[in-house]
């Protein structure tokens, strides 16, 4: 009994009632203890038997390495983006994970627009170089190049009603289909070259593939024109008949003639002679004749003696009369065919030859003569009588007559309109009448096909002028024939940014072989040569497209002679490049096409820096993209650390800065005041010697300046002679072409101020006079006398 009580007399024994209760229920209390011990023992045994996948089960795990709670990535999986932030780190209105924002900086079609030709037929035509033509539309600002492209687009694309429904614009408003960037559309000025491939028919109903590049007309964007002219086989020069030949038009004519490109002339805005100037038909004829003679004068002055061969004239069929805003154009052969269709007895070919110049028609004898009829002081020439007077009559009848009378008058020439169309305003009604009167632009196709060579015929000119390699190799022969079975050789001259401005497409002309997606190629930069292969990278063509400005047609391959748009090869391209396969046949060496020789130079300089210094890497990436996007822009870092942009003019620099701020870098930058770069020259040998002493007072450099021989500056700038070709090759060039003695030719130190600058630094000392190891030689700096002053 002593064990039942403690030392203080408290009962510590079992409760009799509880024992009786438990015994009455037949449950042993010790069973619970046994069960717990067994479950704990089983769990412990099970833990000891588990195998650790990452390591041995008996590995020692430190306290700080133990993981008590799973991470968010373990809970939600590796495919889910997770983020842990402090409380109240951002407002509730802002999402923790912002949605992906897709930015578009250019207009593009969501789907391929419907066309009036089969796109498979277009890709089939690419295999026949004789049925293709590569041309560029060039001319002065606001002379109607983009409007002419709109006319051709509306003829080939079924988009008029769809665009009217989507944009709410009237049909008579200008479409500007090839102006795709925001700056171009807001200002109404083209800033980028825009390629399009269209299938058009001639007057005989034969289909031709025309690869057309619409170029800017502003003088600041002539670099885009130069990049486009490198790829084409001919130039369609667009001239406003009222404005005539402008300064930029004159530059384009000279460049095209010097590059050996055939020219055809498009006299645009013919309606201005009738509706704006209100010239009589006879005076309109003399105005047209004057503009044509302006063009021929520039051609003759560029290369004297070539005027007869390169002359543009309507009777030759290389002059197109057009009104792109109203959608009509014609040449003399196509207009003569209209008469032949109406009067079957008319020979359209012979009739067209008599529709220009001092040719008069005798209605009594129904004959043509070179002299007017006796007694007629102001006789109408055949062009006025058979071409201008019918056009004037169509305009006057459409504008002046009532709908009832107009319906009868138009029925005579086979024009039928809907009743609702007679109620339109005068301009829209006149456009509908002219579209039916003149028909489609078959005259434009005839002129291009007849006077612009095919890619196979024009390849010889491109090889002779631009290819740096030998012309007697298998690769050169394949390019000469536009052989699609030969090795891939492609000339890249332009980079177009994608709509989101994150990457670039490479645009160029396939000279040989077929450009296929997935092909591994070598991208040769402008600095590549056989001796120096540093400017070469290996890339894989991701996609190949047919460029259509607002949309791109993906294809499985583009054969030789066509334009192609490549994705995936732009990383190493800065301005131009040459694409060749990994290995040529017979282990031939790869050569590049020469860099583009531009009309002008960059003379406007500005310095840029980010407002937030931490955004400097973003600005540098934007400058790199700017350098790719604009063919003539130059970006560099001066010794002072300033980041410099060089451009051609104010509008050019404004477009560059807009793209840098909004498109490529998406940031605010500070811009310095612009500085214009001037160049000086030398008329005669300097009377005094200029000298400089080195800081250590040990060396003295003395120089004298004198003019260069005529033609040397042009040879240096065009790349015909380069310092990297080696001293022997340079010396041989000057010795053979300009008659320099061997010592003087081998003493050329450098060209300057840049590598292709039109100046020569020459060592004019004798070895016996001075030691080149201890003192600088008495030298002379030669400057070209042709460059009197360089101003913007």
Element (H, E) at 69: none
Compare 255 and 683 and report the one with higher pLDDT: 255
pLDDT digits (tens, 9 = 90+) for 216-271: 999 999 999 999 999 999 999 999 999 999 999 999 999 999 999 999 999 999 99
By the 8 A CB rule, do 544 and 531 touch? no
Q: Which of 172-176, 228-232, 509-513 has the lowest mean pLDDT?
A: 172-176
Q: What is the 3-state secondary structure (H, E, C) of 294-310?
A: HHHHHHHHHCCCCHHHH
Cα–Cα distances in Å, from 658 out to 401, 408, 616? 50, 55, 17
Residue 65's pLDDT is 74
Give the span between the Cα atoms of 763 and 743, in whole angstroms. Answer: 10
Cβ neighbour number for residue 334 with a 10 Å cutoff: 25
Question: What is the separation, in whole angstroms, between the first and last Cα of the chain?
Answer: 124
Give the dihedral sign, CA 592/597/601/606. Answer: negative
Question: What pLDDT digit, counting tens, does each position of 41-50 carry?
Answer: 554 445 444 4
Q: Which of 764, 770, 752 shows the shortest CA–CA distance to 704?
A: 764
371 vs 172, residue with greater confidence: 371
Q: Which pLDDT tens digit goes with each residue over 602-624? A: 889 999 999 999 999 999 999 99
Pairing label, strands 319-323, 263-268: parallel
**In whole numbers, what is the pLDDT of the chain averaged over residues?**
86
Mean pLDDT value across residues 521-534: 92
Which of 123-127's residues contact partners 24+ apart within 8 Å by CB, and which partners? 123/546, 123/555, 125/199, 125/207, 125/208, 125/209, 126/209, 126/558, 126/559, 126/561, 126/562, 127/484, 127/559
381, pLDDT greater than 60: yes
Q: List the beta bridge partners of residue 564.
A: 508
DSSP 93-159: TS-SSPPPPPP--B---SSPPPBSS-HHHHHHHTT-GGGEEEEEEEESTTSSHHHHHHHHHHHHB--
Both structure tokens of 627: 């350098």
pLDDT digits (tens, 9 = 90+) for 536-590: 999 999 999 999 999 999 999 999 999 999 999 999 999 999 999 999 988 899 9
CA distances to 424, 514, 522, 524 from 590, in Å: 62, 17, 10, 9
Parallel/antiparallel/unpaired status of strands 319-323 and 234-240: unpaired
Confidence of residue 591 (pLDDT cuts 50, 70, 90): very high
446 Cβ neighbours under 8 A, 6+ residues apart: 202, 203, 317, 331, 333, 334
Task: Assign 160 a pLDDT band (cuts: 50, 70, 90).
Answer: low
Nearest to 613 by CA among 574, 643, 571: 643
The C-alpha torsion from 107 through 110 and 115 to 120, rounded to 10°, is 120
Higher-confidence residue of 72 and 593: namely: 593
- Residues 6 or more apart from 738 whose CB is under 8 A from it? 709, 711, 712
Token pair in block for residue 382: 């055949």
pLDDT in tens, 279-323: 999 999 999 999 999 999 999 999 888 778 899 999 999 999 999
d(CA 647, CA 632): 7
Q: How far is CA 770 from CA 701, 764, 765, 775, 777, in A?
A: 12, 11, 7, 7, 7
Helix 389-400 to helix 403-412 angle (10° resolution) is: 150
**Per-residue confidence band for 780, with pLDDT thresholds at 50, 70 and 90:** very low
* 558 three-class SS: strand
Radius of gyration of the chain (CA): 39
Contact 489, 475 (CB under 8 A): yes
pLDDT tens readout for residues 695-743? 888 788 888 888 888 888 888 877 788 887 788 888 888 888 888 888 8
> Quick one: average pLDDT of 638-658?
93
Domains of the chain, first to last: 1-85 (no CATH), 119-342+439-451 (3.40.50.300), 455-587 (2.40.30.10), 604-676 (3.30.70.870), 690-783 (3.30.230.10)
Count of CB atoms situated within 10 Å of the CB of 255:
20
Both structure tokens of 227: 């990049």
For 204-215, write each residue's pLDDT tens digit.
999 999 999 999
Name which of 541, 535, 533 is nearest 570 in CA terms. Answer: 541
State the Cα–Cα distance between residues 655 and 187, nearest whole angstrom: 11
**Residue 478 pLDDT exceeds 80:** yes
Distance, in Å, from the CA atom of 44 to the CA atom of 393, rounded to the nearest integer, reads 109
Q: How many Å apart are CA 774 and CA 776, to the nearest integer?
A: 7
Question: What pTM was estimated for this model as a whole?
Answer: 0.79
In this prediction, residue 647 carries a pLDDT of 94
Average pLDDT over residues 518-522: 96
Question: What is residue 15's predicted lDDT score, i.e. its pLDDT?
Answer: 60
Spatial contact of 320 and 237, defined as CB atoms under 8 Å apart: no
What does DSSP assign to residue 613? G
pLDDT of residue 692: 84
The 3-state secondary structure of 385-443, one letter per residue: HHHHHHHHHHHHHHHHCCHHHHHHHHHHCCCCCCHHHHHCCHHHHHHHHHHHHHCCCHH
The predicted structure's pLDDT at residue 56: 52
Q: Is the pLDDT of residue 167 over 90?
A: no
Helix-then-strand count for the chain, H and E: 26, 30
pLDDT at 58: 66
DSSP one-letter code for 275: I
User: Is the pLDDT higher at 171 or at 744?
Assistant: 744
The pLDDT-based confidence of 777 (bands split at 50, 70, 90) is very low
287 - beta bridge partners?
A: none
Reduced DSSP (H G I as helix, E B as strand, rest coil) percent helix, strand, coil of the chain, to 5: 35, 20, 45
Q: How far apart are CA 586 and CA 474, in angstroms?
A: 9
In contact, 644 and 656? CB cutoff 8 Å:
no
Q: For residue 332, what are the CA distances in angstroms to 240, 431, 535?
A: 19, 21, 51
pLDDT tens-digit map of 420-466: 999 899 999 999 999 999 999 999 999 999 999 999 999 999 999 99
The 3-class SS string of 188-207 reads CCCCCCEEEEEEEECCCCCE
pLDDT at 55 over 60: no
Q: What contacts 93, CB < 8 A, 6 or more positions away?
A: none
**375 torsion bin: left (phi>0), alpha (psi -120 to 50), beta (else):** left
Q: Quick one: pLDDT at residue 175?
A: 86
**Residue 380 CA from chain centroid, whole number:** 47
pLDDT score for 791: 29
Distances (CA, A) of 567 to 4, 543, 595, 772: 96, 5, 21, 52
Band of the pLDDT at 131, cuts 50, 70, 90? very high
**How far apart are the C-alpha atoms of 323 and 269, rounded to whole Å?**
5
Do β-strands 779-783 and 705-707 pair in parallel, antiparallel, or remain unpaired? parallel
3-state secondary structure of 658: helix
Question: Which of 160, 157, 196, 168 has its CA nearest to residue 180?
Answer: 196
The predicted pLDDT at position 162 comes to 53
- Identify whether the C-beta of residue 336 lies closer than 8 Å to the C-beta of residue 355: yes
Contact 210, 151 (CB under 8 A): no
CA dist 430 and 439 (Å) reads 14
Q: What value does the mean pLDDT take over residues 370-377?
A: 75
The answer, yes or no, to whether residue 115 has pLDDT greater than 50, is yes
Query: Tokens 């970006």 sit at which residue?
Result: 635
Q: Which residues contact 16 (CB under 8 A, 6 or more apart)?
A: none
Report strand pairing: 690-693 vs 759-763. Answer: unpaired
């Amino acid at each position: 009994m002593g064990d039942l009580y403690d030392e203080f007399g408290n009962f510590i024994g079992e409760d009799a009632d509880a024992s009786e209760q438990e015994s009455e229920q037949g449950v042993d209390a010790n069973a619970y203890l046994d069960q717990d011990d067994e479950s704990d023992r089983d769990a412990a045994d099970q833990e000891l038997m588990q195998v650790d996948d990452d390591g041995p089960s008996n590995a020692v795990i430190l306290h700080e390495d133990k993981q008590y709670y799973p991470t968010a990535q373990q809970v939600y999986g590796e495919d889910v983006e997770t983020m842990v932030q402090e409380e109240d780190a951002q407002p509730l209105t802002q999402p923790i994970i912002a949605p992906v924002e897709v930015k578009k900086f250019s207009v593009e079609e969501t789907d391929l627009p419907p066309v009036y030709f089969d796109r498979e037929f277009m890709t089939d035509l690419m295999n026949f170089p004789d049925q293709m033509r590569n041309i560029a539309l060039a001319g002065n600002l606001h002379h109607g190049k983009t409007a002419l492209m709109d006319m051709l687009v509306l003829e080939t694309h079924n988009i008029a009603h769809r665009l009217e429904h989507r944009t709410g614009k009237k049909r008579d408003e200008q479409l500007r289909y090839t102006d795709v960037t925001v700056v171009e559309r807001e200002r109404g000025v083209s800033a980028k070259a825009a390629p399009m491939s269209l299938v058009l028919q001639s007057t005989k109903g034969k289909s031709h593939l025309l690869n057309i590049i619409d170029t800017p007309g502003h003088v600041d964007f002539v670099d885009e024109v130069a990049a486009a002219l490198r790829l084409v086989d001919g130039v369609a020069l667009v001239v406003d008949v009222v404005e005539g030949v402008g300064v930029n038009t004159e530059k384009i004519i000279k460049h095209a003639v010097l590059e050996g490109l055939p020219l055809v002339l498009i006299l645009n805005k013919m309606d201005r002679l009738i509706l704006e100037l209100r010239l009589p038909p006879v005076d309109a004829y003399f105005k047209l004749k004057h503009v044509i003679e302006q063009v021929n004068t520039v051609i003759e002055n560029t290369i004297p003696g070539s005027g007869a061969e390169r002359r543009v004239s309507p009777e030759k069929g290389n002059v197109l009369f057009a009104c792109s805003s109203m959608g009509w154009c014609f040449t003399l052969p196509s207009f003569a065919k209209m008469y032949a269709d109406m009067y079957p007895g008319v020979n359209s070919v012979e009739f067209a030859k008599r529709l220009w110049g001092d040719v008069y028609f005798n209605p009594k004898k129904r004959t043509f003569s070179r002299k007017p009829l006796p007694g007629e002081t102001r006789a109408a020439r055949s062009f006025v009588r058979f071409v201008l007077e019918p056009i004037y009559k169509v305009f006057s009848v459409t504008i002046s007559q009532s709908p009832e009378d107009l319906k009868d008058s138009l029925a005579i020439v086979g024009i039928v309109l809907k009743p609702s169309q007679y109620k339109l305003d005068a301009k829209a009604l006149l456009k509908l009448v002219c579209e039916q009167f003149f028909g489609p632009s078959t005259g434009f196709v005839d002129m291009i096909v007849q006077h612009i060579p095919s890619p196979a015929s024009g390849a010889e000119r491109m090889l002779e002028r631009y290819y740096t390699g030998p012309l007697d190799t298998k690769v050169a022969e394949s390019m000469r024939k536009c052989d699609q079975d030969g090795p891939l050789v492609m000339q890249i001259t332009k980079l177009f940014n994608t709509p989101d401005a994150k990457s670039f497409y490479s645009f160029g002309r396939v000279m040989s072989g077929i450009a296929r997606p997935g092909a591994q190629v070598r991208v040769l930069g402008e600095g590549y040569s056989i001796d120096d292969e540093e400017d070469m990278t290996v890339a894989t063509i991701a996609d190949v497209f047919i460029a259509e400005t607002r949309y791109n047609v993906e294809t499985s391959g583009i054969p030789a002679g066509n334009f192609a748009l490549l994705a995936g090869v732009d990383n190493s391209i800065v301005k131009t490049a040459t694409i060749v396969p990994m290995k040529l046949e017979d282990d031939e060496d790869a050569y590049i096409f020469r860099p583009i020789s531009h009309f002008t130079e960059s003379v406007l300089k500005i310095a840029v820096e980010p407002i937030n210094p931490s955004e400097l890497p973003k600005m540098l990436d934007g400058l790199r993209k700017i350098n790719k996007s604009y063919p003539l822009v130059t970006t560099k870092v001066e010794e002072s650390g300033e980041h410099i942009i060089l451009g051609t003019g104010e509008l050019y620099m404004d477009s560059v800065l807009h793209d840098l701020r909004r498109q490529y870098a998406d940031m605010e930058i500070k811009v310095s005041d612009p500085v214009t770069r001037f160049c000086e020259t030398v008329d005669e040998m300097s009377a005094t010697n200029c000298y400089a002493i080195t800081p250590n007072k040990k060396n003295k450099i003395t120089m004298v300046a004198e003019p260069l021989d005529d033609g040397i500056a042009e040879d240096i700038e065009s790349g015909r002679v380069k310092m990297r070709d080696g001293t022997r090759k340079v010396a041989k060039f000057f010795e053979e072409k300009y008659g320099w003695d061997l010592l003087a030719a081998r003493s050329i130190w450098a060209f300057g101020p840049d590598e292709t600058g039109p100046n020569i630094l020459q060592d004019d000392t004798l070895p016996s006079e001075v030691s080149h190891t201890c003192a600088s030689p008495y030298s002379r700096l030669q400057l070209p006398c042709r460059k009197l002053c360089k101003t913007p």
